[in-house]
Chain A
Amino acid sequence: MSDVEERVKRVIAEQFGVDPDELREDMTFAEDLMAESIDIVELIAALEEEFGIEIPEEEARRNRTVGQAIEYMKKKLGVS
Chain B
Amino acid sequence: MDLGIGIDILDLEKFRKAVQKHGRRFLKHILTQNEIDYCMKFKDPIPHLAARFSGKEAFIKALGDAGDWSPSWRGIEIISTNGRPILKFDVKTRDMLERLGVKGVDVSLSHSGRYVVAVAVIRKVD
Chain B binds chain A: yes
CB pair B22–A45 under 8 Å, yes or no, is: yes
Q: Which of B10, B26, B72, B74 contacts A42 (CB 8 A)?
A: B26
Task: Mark contacts of A20-46 with chain B using CB atoms, 8 A cut-off: 1 yes-contact digit, 0 otherwise.
Answer: 000000000000000001100110111
Residues of B within 8 A of A41 (CB): 18, 26, 29-30
B14 interfacial by beta-carbon distance below 8 Å: yes
Q: Which of A42, A49, A57, A61 contacts B18 (CB 8 A)?
A: A42
Q: How far is the CA of A17 from the CA of B122 in the complex (A)?
A: 36
- Chain B positions 54-99 with a Cβ under 8 Å from a chain A Cβ: 57, 70, 72-74
Residues of A within 8 A of B14 (CB): 38
Given contacts A57-B72, A57-B74, contact A46 B22 (CB under 8 A): yes
How far, in Å, is B37 (CB) from chain A's closest CB? 19
B115 interfacial by beta-carbon distance below 8 Å: no
In chain B, what residue has the closest Cβ to A45?
B22
Residues of B within 8 A of A57 (CB): 29-30, 72-74
Given contacts A37-B57, A57-B29, contact A42 B70 (CB under 8 A): no
Interface size in chain B (residues, C-beta < 8 A): 16
Residues of B within 8 A of A61 (CB): 70
A48 interfacial by beta-carbon distance below 8 Å: yes
Q: How far is the CA of A60 from the CA of B53 in the complex (A)?
A: 17
CB pair B15–A38 under 8 Å, yes or no, is: yes
B41 interfacial by beta-carbon distance below 8 Å: no
Residues of B within 8 A of A42 (CB): 18, 21-22, 26
Partner-A contacts on B (CB < 8 A): 10, 14-15, 18, 21-22, 25-26, 29-30, 53, 57, 70, 72-74
7 more contacts with CB within 8 A, not counting A45-B26, A48-B25, are A37-B57, A38-B14, A41-B30, A45-B22, A57-B73, A57-B74, A58-B70
